[in-house]
Copies of this chain bind each other. A is one copy, B any other.
Amino acid sequence: MNNGLKIVTIGGGSSYTPELMQGFIKRYETLPVREIWLVDIPEGEEKLNIVGALAQRMWDASPYDVKVHLTLNRREALKDADFVTTQFRVGLLNARIKDERIPLSYGQIGQETNGAGGIFKALRTIPVIMDIVRDMKELCPDAWLINFTNPSGMITESVIRRAGFEKCIGLCNGPITVMKEEPEMLGGKQEDYSWRFAGLNHFHYHRVWDRQGNEVTSEILRLMSEDDRTNMANVHDVAYLSDQLDAMNCIPFSYHRYYYLYEEMLQHQIEDYGKGTTRAENVKKVEDELFELYKDPALHEMPELLMKRGGAYYSDAACETIHNIYRNTGSLMVVNTKNRGAVSCLPYDSIVEISSLINAKGASPLVWGDFEPSERGWLQIMKAMEECVIEAAVTGDYGMLVKAFQINPLIRHGHGAKEMMDEMLVANEKYLPQFAEKIKELKEQGTVIHDEKVRQLCEQGL
């Protein structure tokens, strides 16, 4: 690392890349980057070229001499990398459209990270990350893998427990958003408070204290009843039950709405679906706009619009993590890492999302301890679901996938849910080689796509 770091970004053609560049530029004095490799697949070449050109312009506009390499050759890029970040999306936003629309056509919630949609996102992504790790073990075994591809928890668990690659940290932008918004709700500044998060990716809880060590958790819960400013851009802003918030001893996350307010969330999504405007489709539009902006040769900084896209702070968190590792800072961050007893109700080897001290040896979680039953049971069923999904993704075992669906609390179970699942398999045929045989069988048995838009995507080979 002596003459600067080699950073590799898989999925480099992503719209997130400018935030990543900005993050590196502003940290350059303490985080000396030498070269950045943006890697993508042939289908993403056009975007890679657009965003890659902008990335180079951003560096050129900075005082630093850093070369941005664009490549479709992942192995070339990984060779001797110091840090690898992953932000790819298998099947692009079209896949998310399928993840959302097919469940909705069955009157069910898709939910792109932990619901039926999230399961399929995991099925598509895990085999690819396993491949990447195989390459890393060979080409850059000492590099750190900083993942912010979703579902970030399951991806990190696959890398660490399944592929046995320990130098991996998974990120999420959720906690960062929370820690920006809550001080404002309280009328204070971020440095006035300390946070402890624990749980799973997109399914964590947290507590907050002020500088005198007084817990302000209940105060925030009370304020959330009135106006929850911590809600993520991705999630419909339905009000929690104030009686529930009053009774809680820790603060839920935006995505808990899908569980605690299932009916309302479902109804909103069905309405959107009726209007043809699922979240994925909205995001796709923003993405198209973004790439139009990116093309502008006069642009040499990250456009503001990116922060409204739903993944704000993700890329900055990646830079911050790399910085904390490289500089051995020991700063606190909320990351996905191995539990090792920090959350007593979850298995020792599980990946959890938790407040951790980050330094040169990686992430050291702070002990959280016991959850109360009202949160414990949820976390445990979610983790069990994750384990089933990962097993299905790695083995291609159809029975295991049925089990994963049957234990997912966002799915109303029964024969209909299985039909929905089969349809999702067929619609994702291109991205699920591990299920190839089963998908063939399903098609022969007559499984068809009911949603018009999804059928069109499939017919276009997307």
A→B interface (CB under 8 Å): 194, 196, 209-215, 241, 243-244, 246-248, 259-265, 325, 328, 330, 332, 339-345, 348, 357, 359-362, 364-370, 373-374, 376-378, 380-385, 387-388, 391, 397-400, 402-404, 406-407, 409, 412-418
Chain B, residue nearest A416 (CB): B263
Chain B residues, Cβ within 8 Å of A328: 194, 211-213
- Give bound CA distance, A383 to B330, whole Å: 30
Measured between beta carbons, the chain B residues less than 8 angstroms from A406 are: 241, 244, 260, 374
- List residues of chain B with CB within 8 A of the CB of A340: 344, 367-370
User: Of residues A210, A366, A370, which shows the largest number of chain B Cβ atoms within 10 Å of its Cβ?
Assistant: A366
Q: Using Cβ atoms and an 8 Å threshold, which residues of chain B touch A400?
A: 247, 374
Q: A364 with B367: in contact, given A244-B406, A398-B243 (CB under 8 Å)?
A: yes
- Which B residues touch A415, using CB under 8 A? 241, 261, 263-264
A378 to chain B, nearest CB (A): 6
Would A364 and B366 count as touching, CB distance under 8 A? yes
Contact of A399 among B243, B341, B370 (CB under 8 A): B243
Q: Inside 8 A of A343's CB, which chain B residues have their CB?
A: 341
Knowing A194-B360, A342-B341, the reply to whether A413 touches B247 (Cβ < 8 A) is: no
Closest B residue to A366 by CB, please name it: B364
Contact B264 A402 (CB under 8 A): no
Query: Are A374 and B213 in contact, with the CB atoms below 8 A?
Result: no
- Chain B residues lying within 8 Å of A211, measured Cβ to Cβ, are 328, 360
CB contacts (< 8 Å) of A373 on chain B: these are 383-385, 387-388, 391, 407
CB neighbours of A261 from chain B (8 A): 413-415
A427 and B438 CA atoms in complex are apart in Å by 51
- Name 11 interchain pairs, CB-CB below 8 A, sorted by A: A215-B361, A243-B402, A244-B399, A247-B403, A348-B369, A366-B367, A373-B383, A373-B384, A373-B407, A374-B403, A378-B381
B366 contacts A377, C-beta separation under 8 Å: no
Q: Which residues of B contact A244 (CB under 8 A)?
A: 399, 402-403, 406
Give the distance to chain B from A221, nearest Cβ to Cβ, in Å. 11
Closest chain B residue, CB of each to CB of A413: B262
Docked complex Cα distance between A103 and B260 (Å): 17
A228 to chain B, nearest CB (A): 15
Docked Cα-Cα span, A367 to B340, in Å, equals 7
Query: Once bound together, how far apart are the Cα atoms of A244 and B421, in whole Å?
Result: 13
Q: Are A194 and B330 in contact (CB under 8 A)?
A: yes
Closest B residue by C-beta to A215? B361
In whole angstroms, how far apart are the Cα atoms of A407 and B256 in the complex? 12
Q: In the assembly, what is the distance between CA of A391 and CA of B382, in Å?
A: 23
Known contacts: A243-B402, A361-B215, A399-B247. The answer to whether A260 contacts B381 by CB under 8 A is: no
In the complex, A438 Cα to B380 Cα: how many Å?
31
- The docked-state distance in angstroms from the alpha carbon of A62 to that of B344 is 48
With a CB–CB cut-off of 8 A, which chain B residues contact A246?
Answer: 399
